[in-house]
Amino acid sequence: MLVLSRKKDEKIVIGDSITLMVIEIRGDKVRLGIDAPRDVTVHREEIYDAIKRESKEQPKVD
């Protein structure tokens, strides 16, 4: 895992098309802005996990 330090309004660039920006730091919470192409899905981890669980639980249709 790459660990980076950023301050408010600083960015991290991933590849050629994804940018993360620190929008706000308040106590122990950080708000991030994510700019990515529409074909790249972006989810909080708990939402991603729920989506994966649901897709495993759905019966397969032939």
Domain boundaries, the chain: 11-57
- Give the torsion sign (CA, 16, 50, 56, 62): negative
H runs (alpha helix) in 1-62: 45-57
Instruction: Give ∠ CA 13-16-22 in degrees, rounded to 5.
Output: 20
CB atoms within 10 A of CB 52: 11
User: What pLDDT does 61 receive?
Assistant: 67
| pLDDT by 10s per residue, the chain, length 62 | 999 999 999 999 999 999 999 999 999 999 999 999 999 999 999 999 999 999 888 776 66
pTM of the model as a whole: 0.78
